[in-house]
Amino acid sequence: MKVCIVGAGQIAEAHIEEVQKIKGATIVGLCDLRKTPAQALADKYNIAASYISIDEMLEVAKPDVVHITTPPGSHFFLALKILQGGSSVYIEKPVTLTAEESEKLIAVAKDSNLKLCPGTHRLRSFETIEVFKAINEESRFGEMIHMDAVFGYNLNGIFGKLVTSNPDHWIAKLPGQLFQNNISHPIAMLTPFLSDDLEITSFAFDRSNNGVVNDELRVQIFDRKNKVTCSILFTSNALPVQFVVRYFGSKSTINLNLTEHFWMEDTAPTFPGGLGLSLNIRARAKKLKTQYWTNFKAFWLGRETFFSDMKRLVEEFYQSIETKTDAPIPYNEIQRTSNIIDKICQQISSPGGKS
């Protein structure tokens, strides 16, 4: 599998490190408009060639797949060019700036017998895989009733401070600003269990008074077809910074913690009164202990890293290209995520009511 990377920023390094762990995958080129960073990153990771022209890279390197790690404003243009050039695309979130652009990319990928995959890699964390299996066991979880997603963001970090201090930062120029660059992750955890008949209400505000970007977002979703409700809380002010999702079923409730890599299932007590409550707490404690040791060994021994879920998703994507099977993230889920983001962006404004 011949791989090229477009972009030479911090997230590009994560892609490179995970791709280089995949058997049979070779990074044959790296492209960035800035020659010096591109060459420096290529040298750091022993990549054969660097380019400042994507056309030259596609012509010379002839990659099977290209990873797009640039800011979102360039995603549609780059992905379209790459697909039309004959390569499949793994694209960082958000896939595009509009639902219409996502729809076009999916259509081009299908018509060209190529593949498209978004970088919503938390869908391939071990705990997510286990949770989705549990949800799909109807006798265990029952029917989906409601979903809650909480996504925290640290504006006090280096990148966050760059955003809030610069009205011309590319984040501030996105239609959905800070939210559009990150909200694909929590939305992607909900879309597998939603239809396309959705009523969406959202509002945003600048709680920290930074004056550049809104830093708090609230979203309510009602799935008319399935009679399922959802809420999304995007917060840059609540601590600790966390990414958690709760799935409420007719038979059990599942709590998925993607920050600390564990999940718990709450069920009704099997015994009455205090005994039943105590036994439920005991069962949770036992499961937490098991997950603690599993995680401790996995991270201590290096079997799991911060981006191991990215490696799993990328590996599945490469296999789908080689075997000519469906891409790991269904296209209808990609489009549904884009549709939801579109609707949110239409309902919110930047600080001070500026569009």
Query: What would the pLDDT profile of 79-137 be if each residue is shown by its tens digit?
Result: 999 999 999 999 999 999 999 999 999 999 999 999 999 999 999 999 999 999 999 99
CB 116 within 8 A of CB 327: yes
**Residue 201 pLDDT > 80, yes or no?**
yes
Q: pTM, whole model, 2 decimals? A: 0.92
Q: Read out DSSP for 303-352?
A: S--TTHHHHHHHHHHHHHHHHT---SS-HHHHHHHHHHHHHHHHH---GG
pLDDT for 272: 65
Could you read off the pLDDT of 134-163 as tens digits, one per residue? Answer: 999 988 999 999 999 999 999 998 889 999
pLDDT band of residue 267 (cuts 50, 70, 90) is confident
Residue boundaries of the structural domains of the chain:
2-120, 123-308+339-353
CA torsion 203-124-145-341 (nearest 10°) is 20
Third-level CATH fold of 2-120: Rossmann fold (3.40.50)
pLDDT over 70 percentage in the chain: 97
CATH topology agreement for domains 2-120 and 123-308+339-353:
no
Third-level CATH fold of 123-308+339-353: Dihydrodipicolinate Reductase; domain 2 (3.30.360)
pLDDT for 176: 93
**Residue 308 pLDDT > 50, yes or no?**
yes
**Sole residue written with tokens 């060209």:** 112
pLDDT for 355: 46
pLDDT band of residue 268 (cuts 50, 70, 90) is confident
* Token pair for 70: 């640039």
pLDDT for 114: 98
Distance CA 181, CA 177 (A): 7
pLDDT for 138: 84
Q: What is the mean pLDDT of the chain?
A: 93
Q: With 0-12 CB in 10 A as exposed, 13-18 as middle and 19+ as buried, what is 251?
A: middle
- For the beta carbon of residue 27, count every other beta carbon within 10 angstroms: 23
